[in-house]
Amino acid sequence: MLGLPAHVRACLFDLDGVLTQTAKVHAAAWKEMFDDYLRDRAAREGTAFVPFDAVEDYDEYVDGRPREDGVRTFLAARGVHLPEGAADDPPEAETVNGLGTRKNNLVLRRIRDEGVEPYEGSVRFVHAVREAGLRTAVVSSSANCRDVLVAAGIEELFDERIDGVVAHERGLRGKPAPDTYLEGARVLAVEPGRAAVFEDALAGVEAGHAGRFGLVVGVDRVGQAEQLRAHGADVVVRDLAELLESR
């Protein structure tokens, strides 16, 4: 009835790009932050400014990863290595944490100004999953996960939430490591092989594959179906409603 194997008893959903239309908000915030920093650095060093690509760089280096990992991974690809700093670094600090704070402030401003919209097809699918008696959890790298769920009006659809705050508290590695998805399965009291993962990020699909989950569904919002399959997706759809229509 759900387009899922019969053995699947729980569903683990990424947030941005799967449940809510916030991936584009994150991509825009990453671009604004990195471009400002790279432009200033190029001016100081007398080198050419090469902007952050909100599609290719976002997909390859930051999408689905914890914030500081995204900063670190992208800058390393540009040959830039900054000190880590501290979690309470201000946004003007030239540290990994400082740039992460700057990006987070931009995201929060955009969410406040623009609001959050869920994907209608995803909401339909989650309702169907719950009506079929399957358990549900959100597994997100975002420390703002609960605020986004509340703003989108969908918090009550999920039994558990494993987000950036929980990952930090429990010492879980971020995607593409499988830790957060494995923790999602654990708190739902289901074996990974009996759970399905729903992801739009390449790093998240890798995490689902590495965790040996029963099914990894790649959600292709930006035309990267082949990359999702290459990173471990068993099935790729453009919208979760397609799974209901495949009955």
Q: Which among 16, 63, 69, 89 is annotated as catalytic?
A: 16
Q: Yes or no: say if 220 and 198 are a contact pair by the CB < 8 Å rule.
A: no
69 is catalytic: no
Q: Which among 14, 57, 89, 200 is annotated as catalytic?
A: 14
List phi, psi (to 5°) of 79.
75, 20
14 is catalytic: yes
In whole angstroms, give the CA distance from residue 52 to residue 106.
16
In whole angstroms, give the CA distance from residue 227 to residue 120.
25
Catalytic residues: 14, 16
